[in-house]
Amino acid sequence: MTKLIGSASLTTTDSGTDLTQKGDLHGYSTSNTRIPVGSNDQVLTADSAQALGVKWASASSGVWSQLGTDSSDSGKAQLQVSFTMHDVLSVFFLGCSAGTTEDDIRIQLNDTGGTAYSMRGDYSSSETSFQAQANWSATFGNNTAQRPTFFQLVLWKKDANIVGDSMVNGIMLGAVNIDGASSPPIVNTLASSGLLFDSSATIASLEVFHGSDNVIGNLQVNGMNYA
């Protein structure tokens, strides 16, 4: 019998243990053995106390792990990453609109399962500019059609032990978009902006979209739990 292990072809009379489920791996102790796939977001970890020398376990705290990516080369309604919420999320996006309509690149959570507000300047319950910004925007009116845009933002899990933490649960670290049609080209930048998610629901997804057209680009979400 010939088996493929990695890129090597080995000839053997030992049939081993057949893999039966998506994600199963080959293992070995004193004979070939199936390693069942772990749960979502677990990682394969070396552990000499285990019969096969490895086990599935949650990622170590204090270490960033990739929770998901989404991309489009031709354009779609939104880029979306679903995940299990960690203590801290780090989000990166690079993209543009797929059409010719001027509008903002926007961010939302839980696929419209709550309202995401951007807070710039003083906050009060009657702050009209705050209330009017019904989506987190990486461009705030500076985005024309097909203008390249990059942003990075950080979100954190709300903590009832921290006074006022329910008011802000994220920060736009920065955003930039490039107006290549101007002569000379213009680079618009956005400094730090507080972010509020007006919902008590656990954050389980993040979406990026263009206000009028489809969006082209790449989205990545990373997560970390406190050590």
Give the span between the Cα atoms of 195 and 92, in whole angstroms. Answer: 16
- Tens-level pLDDT at each residue, the chain (227 residues): 445 444 445 555 545 457 888 888 888 888 888 888 888 878 888 888 888 888 888 766 678 889 999 999 999 999 999 999 999 999 999 999 998 888 888 888 888 766 666 555 444 444 444 333 445 666 655 566 778 889 999 998 877 777 665 556 788 888 888 887 778 888 888 767 777 777 778 889 999 988 889 999 999 999 998 87
Q: Are 98 and 142 members of one domain?
A: yes
Which of these three, 15, 32, 58, is where a domain ends?
58
Tally of domains in the chain: 2
Q: Are 158 and 218 members of one domain?
A: yes
Which of these three, 13, 40, 58, is where a domain ends?
58
| Domain containing residue 172: CATH number | 2.60.120
Q: Are 48 and 110 members of one domain?
A: no
Q: Are 111 and 167 members of one domain?
A: yes
Supply the range of the domain harboring residue 133: 65-224
Q: What is the per-residue burial (b if ≥16 Cβ within 10 Å, else e) of 105-143?
A: bbbbbbeeeeebbbbbeeeeeeeeebeebebbbbbbebb
Q: Are 30 and 113 members of one domain?
A: no
Query: Which pair of tokens denotes residue 58?
Result: 């949650």
**pTM, two decimal places:** 0.69
β-sheet bridge partners, residue 208: 79, 107
Which of these three, 10, 43, 58, is where a domain ends?
58
